[in-house]
Amino acid sequence: MKKFLSLILVTLCIILLNTFTVLASEKKYSIDELKINAILDKDGNLSVTEDYYYNFQGSFNGITRDIDYNGAKDVEGIEVIKNDTISFKINDNKDENTFELKNPNNSKNLKIYSRNKDCKTKFTIKYKIIDAAYKANNQGNLKWIFYKNTNDVNITNLSLNLVFKDELNGEVKYLGVGPENGSAESLNNNTFLFKVKNLNKNELFGSKLSFDSNYLTGVSEIEDRNVQDNLYKNSYKELFYAIPLVVILIGLIGGFIFNDKKKYNKELKEYRAKYAIFNKPYLEEKPGDLNATLAYYILNEDIDNKCLMVTLLDLVNKGALTYTVGENEDDKKNFKFTINSNNFTNLLKYERFIIKWFSEYGKNGSFSIYDIEKNTKDYSDAKNFKNKFNEWTSLVIDEGENLINYVIIVRRRILDNKSYDQKLRLKAFKKYIIKKTSTEVDLNFCKEYINYIVAFDLEESFININLPEDYSFLNGIALMTIYHQDVYNDIDRRVSPNTSSTSTFTSSGGDCGGGGGSGAF
């Protein structure tokens, strides 16, 4: 009992000490990207490689990483590497390029000694989780939290590439664990990719997969497993004595959070006041020379398959493409684009890429969505298209990121004033387009801004309505956009025929194993 109460007091002191240390310190750090690659073998073991891209502002002595393995047997084979060249040795001497390893219950705590000042550094941490996956009710399961932002780290661009080491048969149901704006996709029958733009305090990043239990040949069937059953085994009596301390702890933390938020709101207001931020309900013209594809990215901080059509319409506006559209839903062959190579001068990299890519499906300087549909009927062709799409997406995101800048306000990453103003203008422009396509229909306006209408998901308002002959192409573009998305979805199903995901991400990880965060000191 005394040990239990002492533990709570020590924990309280540690939390308070860490809190005041953060407040007193002016140095900052962030993790600009976290790439996780995890390979699941037939014995239910996960081989994990984590690449952390730290950005240090000020002097730091090293980083920390806690690897929780609740729900698994153990974690083995831990390695630490810096900038792909320096391998760290394990010892307790606190020497440069070494790390300490502590082993509290169901966790491996790493303290990695590496001095860094005002620089960007890559740390790679490798390890194997023993018995991460399990079989229950004739189903294979992997429900694992790879990272939890326990230390309120400013961490962005998280990705998890999860691979089944051997051939996998049957349907796979997969779900990301984390912020609900995350994305999850099947790259092929054995590989699943999960992405999250950023992770706030105490948010999780992981995945849940259910698959054919025959894959786990080295794992025995169990009736059920609740990975958190053994986390806390305190008696009611101990809990009764602990309640006052817990109340004090909650009060102190609550006070810190209140003051922290109050400080953040004050500094944010002062920062925004330095710039003439746009504050009108409507913007009647597009912001600057921003095209519709990049407008979509800035508003959504993501790219989806519909943006392919948006980019084609952007290229029509630039004169690099011209188009003809069909008169009805069945006239697929006449949804066609023609390339005007004399107008390539001001094209962006991703725009040049899509012209070269799509032209491979056509002939005589033109292509159609129908051509793409015909030439992606088998798995290998569909897979090639999907790979090209991923490559194109990366080019769009790179271009979009050049237009967005951030600042840190009280340890929170926010858009700087110029980027924030740009986003507000886009939102106001979108509201104006909604107005012009619904309550105050202006066909001349719609003709000029059809690429934005498609980017903002408003094209369906032109389906099955009678338009003057000069504007009938709006019907065709709406139908072509829907047709394009059907073709892309068919391609996606050919690439991943045995996978399904009813919902992309969930914030609930209560039935998962794993966890643990990172930090710097």
Q: What is the pLDDT of residues 465-507, one digit of tens each?
A: 666 766 666 766 777 777 777 888 888 777 765 555 445 777 7
Output the 3-class SS for 29-65: EEEEEEEEEEEECCCCCEEEEEEEEEEEECEEEEEEE
Output the pLDDT for position 325.
Answer: 66
Question: Which is nearest to 69 in space by CA: 521, 474, 516?
Answer: 516
Whether residues 92 and 216 share a domain: the answer is yes
Q: What is the pLDDT of residues 371-404, one digit of tens each?
A: 888 898 888 888 899 888 888 988 998 898 888 8
Phi, psi of 161 (to 5 degrees): -105, 110
* Average pLDDT estimate for 242-266: 71
Q: Which amino acid is at 509?
A: G
Q: Select the more confidently predicted residue: 305 or 90.
A: 90
Contact 303, 396 (CB under 8 A): yes
Structural domain total, the chain = 2
Q: Which amino acid is at 374?
A: K
The SS3 of residue 282 is coil
CATH number of domain containing 516: 2.60.40
Output the pLDDT for position 229.
Answer: 39
Whether residues 510 and 492 share a domain: the answer is no
Whole-angstrom CA distances from 311 to 293, 491, 520 are 6, 19, 42
Structure tokens at 223: 């009736």
Output the pLDDT for position 413.
Answer: 78
Tell me the C-alpha distance between 360 and 371, whole Å: 9
- The rounded Cα 521 to chain-centroid distance in angstroms is 27
Tell me the C-alpha distance between 375 and 241, whole Å: 70
Output the pLDDT for position 256.
Answer: 59
Whether 185 has a pLDDT exceeding 90, the answer reads no
Output the pLDDT for position 278.
Answer: 87
Helices (H), 402-504: 417-437, 443-448, 450-455, 473-495
The SS3 of residue 375 is coil
Contact 350, 392 (CB under 8 A): yes
Residue 180 lies in a domain: yes
Whether residues 107 and 212 share a domain: the answer is yes
- The rounded Cα 396 to chain-centroid distance in angstroms is 15
* Average pLDDT estimate for 228-244: 46
Whether residues 327 and 424 share a domain: the answer is yes
Output the pLDDT for position 227.
Answer: 39
DSSP state letter for 170: S
DSSP state letter for 402: T
Structure tokens at 195: 């992405």
Structure tokens at 26: 């002016």
Output the pLDDT for position 50.
Answer: 96
Residue 267 lies in a domain: no
Least trusted range by pLDDT, from 22-26, 187-191, 275-279: 22-26
Average pLDDT, the chain: 82
412: exposed, middle or buried (C-beta count within 10 Å: 0-12, 13-18, 19+)? middle
* Average pLDDT estimate for 238-266: 68
Whether residues 436 and 510 share a domain: the answer is no
Residue 4 lies in a domain: no
Tell me the C-alpha distance between 297 and 230, whole Å: 44
Tell me the C-alpha distance between 25 and 40, whole Å: 41
Whether 309 has a pLDDT exceeding 50, the answer reads yes
Banded model confidence at residue 138, pLDDT cuts 50, 70, 90: confident
| Kind plus residue range of the DSSP H or E element containing 288 | none
Whether residues 510 and 371 share a domain: the answer is no
Whether 513 has a pLDDT exceeding 90, the answer reads no
Whether 329 has a pLDDT exceeding 80, the answer reads no
Q: What is the dihedral of CA 452, 454, 460, 466, to 10 degrees?
A: 60
Residue 108 lies in a domain: yes
Q: What residues are paired with 125 via a beta bridge?
A: 50, 80
Least trusted range by pLDDT, from 181-195, 196-210, 216-230: 216-230
Whether residues 205 and 298 share a domain: the answer is no
Q: Select the more confidently predicted residue: 256 or 253.
A: 253
Output the pLDDT for position 8.
Answer: 55
Q: Select the more confidently predicted residue: 302 or 237.
A: 302
Output the pLDDT for position 390.
Answer: 86
Output the pLDDT for position 261.
Answer: 80
Residue 134 lies in a domain: yes
* Average pLDDT estimate for 406-429: 86
| Kind plus residue range of the DSSP H or E element containing 412 | strand 412-415
Whether residues 126 and 72 share a domain: the answer is yes
Q: What is the pLDDT of residues 96-126, one digit of tens each?
A: 999 999 988 889 999 999 999 999 999 999 9
Tell me the C-alpha distance between 78 and 128, whole Å: 7
Output the pLDDT for position 245.
Answer: 65
Q: What is the pLDDT of residues 17-71, one digit of tens each?
A: 555 444 444 688 999 999 999 999 999 999 999 999 999 999 999 999 999 998 8
State percent of the chain over pLDDT 90: 29
Whether residues 180 and 316 share a domain: the answer is no
| Kind plus residue range of the DSSP H or E element containing 122 | strand 120-130
Contact 239, 8 (CB under 8 A): no
Tell me the C-alpha distance between 22 and 259, whole Å: 13
Banded model confidence at residue 363, pLDDT cuts 50, 70, 90: confident
Residue 247 lies in a domain: no
Tell me the C-alpha distance between 267 and 431, whole Å: 30
Q: Which domain holds residue 159?
A: 30-228+505-520
Output the pLDDT for position 11.
Answer: 55
Output the pLDDT for position 6.
Answer: 56
Contact 202, 150 (CB under 8 A): yes
Residue 21 lies in a domain: no
Tell me the C-alpha distance between 495 and 493, whole Å: 5
Question: Which is nearest to 354 in space by CA: 299, 408, 401, 307?
Answer: 307
Whether residues 515 and 492 share a domain: the answer is no
Whether residues 55 and 167 share a domain: the answer is yes
* Average pLDDT estimate for 161-180: 87
* Average pLDDT estimate for 245-263: 70
Least trusted range by pLDDT, from 303-317, 320-334, 365-379, 477-491: 320-334
Whole-angstrom CA distances from 262 to 62, 257, 267, 409, 410 are 30, 8, 9, 12, 10
The SS3 of residue 205 is strand
Whether residues 215 and 350 share a domain: the answer is no
Banded model confidence at residue 462, pLDDT cuts 50, 70, 90: low
Residue 88 lies in a domain: yes
DSSP state letter for 88: P
Output the pLDDT for position 411.
Answer: 72
Banded model confidence at residue 232, pLDDT cuts 50, 70, 90: very low
The SS3 of residue 331 is coil
Whether 212 has a pLDDT exceeding 80, the answer reads yes
Whether 7 has a pLDDT exceeding 70, the answer reads no
pTM: 0.53
Structure tokens at 407: 């600042």
Contact 100, 63 (CB under 8 A): no
Which residues, including other chains, have CB under 8 Å from residue 512's CB and lie 6 or more apart? 71, 143, 144, 145, 177, 204, 206, 208, 227
